[in-house]
Structure 1
Amino acid sequence: MSALSLGIDTSNYTTSVALVDENENMIYNKGILLEVKSGERGLRQSDALFQHIHHLPMLLADLPRGREIEVICYSKRPRPLLDSYMPVFRAGESLACSLAGVLAVKQLAVSHQENHIRAAIYGSGSKKLEATFAAVHFSGGTSEILLVKKKEIGYDCEIIAQTRDLNAGQLIDRIGVLMGCDFPAGKALEALANQVVPESIDRNDVISATMDGMDFHFSGQENQAQKLLRAGVDEGIVAYLVLKAIAKTLSKSIGGLQKKHPFQSVLFSGGVMSNQIIKKIVAQELQTSGLSLYFSPGEYARDNAAGNALMGMDYFKSMRCSR
């Protein structure tokens, strides 16, 4: 019977558990979004940690039974750097280490960022990515473009462009909450934007990209969006312009980075990159770049534990081959 790998991820806003077999069949992949009070724009780490501890037993209770778990892989830190730390990941780490001890199985600690990359590779079907490629990680907690080098298990990630203030997901959430949407506001903002015919938008209504070399600023776009709302511009139009501005900013940065770094492919991950409007505009902006663009379906772009389960299985297979 095929071995199984269990993945656990406890990020800023989602508790996630996944189970994968040796053939990379995703047996189980579920997450529970953390609750944020109406009108609030985020959670304190202590509150998020408490919710993770509450959610994890619920997710484990639904795991399929009758097959052996051979390895448990969990997110220990936000990025693959020794000094990278965030308290929320302690919930997943504690459970993973406890389960591994009780079951007497191998455990593997990785980063949340590597989890996103591995899940996006799986979701986009881009298994044949070059040894070095670019990866976009745009979410509520991160807005970075990375130069990624494959390792036997996991990835080395060098930040080659990043936000200088707000993250893209924060921009979306702040404007969404300002419009009366619940947090996180990504889906609500996209729904509002989809009601708009882009060609009908007044050319004077615009939110421009603010660049700092290949880095970028999103706080200026927040100010521009607020100004449009105060001027009475339709909320759907402002929602579309916010998403368009993020896509244009990202495209400009990738285009500039292409001239400086040795990558031919770009992999997109993070909750922001599950937005269909942003995907469409980025693809249009970069269609003549010669780059191969790999977008992942929403379930593998947003926070999930699928990447950890897959890296755990990569680890299990490598150990078996080395015996």
Structure 2
Amino acid sequence: MTITQLKYTLAVAEYKNFTIAAEHCFVTQPTLSMQIQKLEEELDAKIFNRSKKPIELTEVGKRIVEQAKVIVDESNRIIDIVHQQKGYIGGEFRVGIIPTIMPTLLPMFLKTFSKNYPKVKLIIEELTTEEIVRKLMDGYIDAAIAATPLENEAIKERVLYYEPFVGLVPSEHRLFNQKKLKIDDLEVDDILLLEDGHCFKDSVINLCRTNKRSATHHFQLESGSFDTLIKLSKDGLGMTLLPYLNTLDLNDRDKAHLREFETPPPAREVSLIYHKSQLKMQLIEALKTTIDSVIRGAIAFSDVEIISPLQKK
């Protein structure tokens, strides 16, 4: 039994496909399959039910995978301990970022980070908050950038910045002539929202939760991107709320439709998060320092009201 065999097994368990797992392990599919077959022969047990599509774990396979995660994670920690002792900033660093943060924040820090830490192989994946939490717990990623608080005792949260909400209001909308928006003016049925799975949508719903005004719209529309929401709002189909960084690249004509909130404005808390047992702290610090340096000039807001991304019960 080898660590490599266990890593291949974990990859197949994650992707439920031998070919895709081999691609992520940077080996050929026959090589990966052969190593897993050798492991099954050594254990005298079938780990995967290959007749199922997608591939499923057998009952004993589920227990084997659980233990394999522990063994692979602990083997990685040996390398982390040595790197930490030497103060070495390098190696593979896997980071998840939620979709509503990735397009605006990543271009701000990626080039600077790569230049300052050329020995780090930064692997970035766009994930929902739910996927991030699961992958942090399972050890598939080292850190993530997400809206917080998450109220998970196993996850450490280090705040990067507070990003205010900004309204985009079409000219024919009832709130267009207001210089500043008030939270009490918002109607959840009057706002174009992101689709389910985006924590920014949950934050907006929480922001509007106490509003009692009845809806006047004859449709409900949700989209997967802010770009679509902006276009729909410009077409007069309703107002929408945007994170502040998403407003910076708008043209002057579109910016004329932006409305800030009265102080303190509602905002989301954006944090660098990682499992409490994470050992790659030198990489965590390097990433946080880099983001701190580039975000400081873009967001100067501190007097804000944090809106939780968690759905209130």
Report the TM range for the smaller structure's normalisation: under 0.3
> Which protein shows a greater Rg?
2
The two structures have a TM-score, normalised by structure 2, of 0.25
TM, length-normalised to structure 1 = 0.24
